[in-house]
Amino acid sequence: MLVTITDDFDLKKIAASGQCFRVKEFEDGLFRFITGNHILYIKKCEEQLYEISCSSTEWEEIWFYYFHLDRSYEEVRGRIGVRDKYLRKASEEGRGIRILKQDPWEMVITFIISQQKTIPSIKSCVEALCLNYGDKITTAYEEIYTFPTAEQLCPATIEELREYKLGYRAPYISDATHKISSSKVDLQDLYTRSDKKVFETLKQISGVGDKVSNCICLFAYGRTRLAPVDTWIKKVIEKEYKGKNPFPRYKDAAGIMQQYIFYYALTHKKELA
């Protein structure tokens, strides 16, 4: 079926934005997204018109919110002041990026894995976990494995996890698996909690510090007041903002502004070297 998307929306930029690690781009401009047991194939047909593989009900109940289409990013970009030339430039280049509302459990594990790893390495580790512990789904385009649930991953020993190039992260993943499968950390309960409560609760998991917790808050729970600060963002803050974090001034759009700058930093690494 076809859907119309009138706000900022660019599949290629979303896929390259560093917030999701299981997106696949096919040669003909088709993209695959997966969340839980739901798989979406989506392709741009013409301006604002997209062909999707799911039903209208699934689009409205899952993917519409997954792509954060209930918020105008055009309005968000309009908040950037004329004096903030760097962010204006970054937002124009990153126009079309969306903050994806992904599965909290998957975000916990993938952002623990992300520490000190390149994006291709993260993707490789994530796919290894899916292949060995997830469920196989056959679609018209491919065979794909779901991200394993906490219960599916629970039997894996630290030694077994290390076989998938997880290194020092293996004990962290084991800790996350057991705390979440036992509901010691209740990810579903966090949907109704304050930003601060979500942020602090996630840090009860070994290996989840400020940066990783902020990433989970933003990319799973849609807490757009929170803006993760990694190595690239730190470089931008030092070079372009004289060491002063620019994101808090944007309040409930801070995380979106951070994503524009993060994407711009990824595509202009030489400028920050």
Task: Give the Cα separation of 214 and 183 in Å (integer).
Answer: 21
| Per-residue buried b or exposed e for 147-184, using 16+ beta carbons within 10 Å of the residue's own CB | bbbbebbeebeeeebeebebeebbebbbbbbebbbeee
Task: Give the Cα separation of 260 and 37 in Å (integer).
Answer: 29
DSSP helix, strand, coil percent of the chain (3-state; round to 5): 50, 10, 40
CA 47 vs. chain centroid, Å, equals 25
Task: Give the Cα separation of 242 and 166 in Å (integer).
Answer: 36
Which one, of 100, 97, 129, lies nearest residue 112 by Cα?
129
Confirm if 219 and 100 have CB atoms less than 8 A apart: yes
The answer for residues whose C-beta is within 8 angstroms of residue 247's C-beta and 6 or more apart is 227, 254, 255, 257, 258
CA 227 vs. chain centroid, Å, equals 13
Give the end-to-end CA distance of the chain in Å, rounded to a whole number.
45
47's tokens: 């301006």
Which ranges in 95-228 belong to alpha helices (H)?
104-113, 119-133, 150-153, 158-162, 170-181, 195-202, 210-219
Which one, of 199, 206, 147, 129, lies nearest residue 171 by Cα?
206
Q: Which residues are catalytic?
A: 211
